[in-house]
Amino acid sequence: MGMRFVSAFAAAVLLTVSAAGATLHRGNQSEPDTLDPSKATGSWESNILGDMFLGLTTEDAASNPIPGAAESWTVSEDGLVWTFRLRAGATWSDGVPVTADDFVFSFRRQMDPATASQYASMLYDIKGGEEVNAGKAPLETLGVRAVDANTLEITLTHPAPYLPQLLMHQITYPVPKHQVEKFGDDWVKPENYVSNGAFKLVSWRPNDSVVTVKNEKFYDAANVKLDGVVFYPTDDAEAGLKRFRTAELDLNIGFPSSQIELLKRTLAAELKVSTIVNVRYIVMNTLKKPFDDPRVRKAISLAINREVITGQIIKAGEQPAYSIVPPGTAGYSDGPRLSFEAMTMPERLAEAKRLLEEAGYGPSNPISFRYNYISDNDSKRVAAALQGMWAAIGMKVELVVMEKKVHYNTVRAQDYEVAEANWFADFNDAKNFLFLAQPSAGDMNMSRYTNQAYEDLIRKSDQERDAAIRAGIMREAEALMLEEYPITPMYYGVSRNLVHTWVKGWEENLLNTHRSRWMSIEGKP
């Protein structure tokens, strides 16, 4: 994405909106990599896109699915065919009607291998999705069709009761067919950008701000209380905290965990910490030696003192993780745990050294590797601790730090050995975590784990309509994967946000999704 400078018009709009006193200024963690819904991958991008676009379903303030671009839908008896009725009269922000054909175009574009969407595998539930994305079938065979201008039909390969949640995700957002066909990839330039959600894009100045204003053509514009939203990258959590304290930011996503006790004393009313469906984990490149050896991967996992990380390094309420599927995941309980959970740390370290020796490594032949991590305060502190923990079993670790978006692009491109990763649920279902190691998940399987038995279990669970039986199959799959360590859990996260008291409509929720549509500013000094 090239540089996007604020035009005179954009600056004037921003000044006008600011003068009205109803602009929300949001600290948003990282700089977006893209504002194309079909190519975005980060939560920091979703925060912006979810304000500007409306999928077939959308989130209420508590992140529950509600009707979005579709006002209603029906499901066939076998759970495979979903028929969505679009809102009559809905338009893009330029006044062009939003039709079922826009959705067909968008789903096909998402699955087109030429788009190179890293998230495409999340839509393999759609009939023909996997074949189309692999380039083995024409786009027209994808199970999405326009019955008429206002009716969309989606056919699945298996029942997916979580589909209304999945359809809240940015990969399912419609993109404006008329603009994409006219401008190609340049449709995302602010002067060409149109959207169908509560806000529309005015400008994007990289490493400075993304400016949006209220979309008056949005079907529910009368109930949108903000005149606009400005998103700022706040990778530097300390700097973000300072900007929040001076009220430059009305809210900020994240804060340094080292400041938690001070914040409890000085900003108690603004501090928002709550349970979310999230896991921070370590991913290992199974395509590279020695990480193709499960004994080495297990040793790396054994050496991680999760209790020290959560109890002494990050102390905002995070919990040690011994499973990939976190607590709070809907319909999934009593899942498998790492087999060494009950062992003491000395016992774990002894076992790690034994495994390394068995694999041919030791003091005379130590393992050296690069550990890639994200350039935020907490990740830096955790990385330094991990370096020491791995040194205790004779491993020599070089720390490699990168900006968040660069980090994930690097890891997904397989240019790494061992790396930090963090997953917030896209939809509240165990599959959304288990697919992180699913061989067919493409770029999202950053470890390139290839166990066919694991793949078969996930696919078997897809076909099971009984929720309890389905959960049992997924537990079996998780147990298999946990024992092979392509990815290994580190800790379960909490949401860490700062919200000024004059921001109304913010609701804590398990997905940590907060759309500006539901917020307002009242009584700001």
pLDDT at 257: 87
Query: Cβ(210)–Cβ(231) under 8 Å?
Result: yes
Neighbour-count burial of 342, counting CB atoms closer than 10 A to its CB (0-12 exposed, 13-18 middle, 19+ buried) = exposed
Signed CA dihedral, 223, 229, 233, 238: sign only: negative
Instruction: Report residue 47 as tokens.
Output: 């925060």
Cα angle 193-112-43, degrees, rounded to a multiple of 5: 55
Cα angle 106-430-35, degrees, rounded to a multiple of 5: 30
pLDDT at 11: 45
Q: What is the pLDDT along the chain (525 residues), one digit of tens a residue?
A: 333 333 333 444 444 444 344 999 999 999 999 999 999 988 999 999 999 999 999 999 999 999 999 999 999 999 999 999 999 999 999 999 999 999 999 999 999 999 999 899 999 999 999 999 999 999 999 999 999 999 999 999 999 999 999 999 999 999 999 999 999 999 999 999 999 999 999 999 999 999 999 999 999 999 999 999 999 999 898 999 999 999 999 999 999 888 999 999 999 999 999 999 999 999 999 999 999 999 999 999 999 999 999 999 998 999 999 999 999 999 999 999 999 999 999 999 999 999 999 999 999 999 999 999 999 889 999 999 999 999 999 999 999 999 998 999 999 999 999 999 999 999 999 999 999 999 999 999 999 999 999 999 999 999 999 999 999 999 999 999 999 999 999 999 999 999 999 999 999 999 999 999 999 999 998
pLDDT at 377: 86
Task: Please give the Cα distance from 318 to 274 (Å, whole number).
Answer: 10
Amino acid at 15: L
401: nearest Cα among 370, 422, 372:
372
pTM, rounded to two decimals: 0.89
Task: Please give the Cα distance from 463 to 509 (Å, whole number).
Answer: 29
Helices (H), 341-393: 345-358, 377-391
- Whether residue 290 has a cis bond before it, omega within 30° of 0: yes
> Please, which residues bridge with residue 504 across strands?
520
Instruction: Report residue 361 as tokens.
Output: 């490594």
Neighbours of 365 (CB within 10 A): 11
Query: Cβ(492)–Cβ(326) under 8 Å?
Result: yes
Burial 457-484 (b: 16+ CB within 10 A, else e): bbbbbbebeeeeebbebbbbbbeebbeb
pLDDT at 6: 36
pLDDT at 10: 41
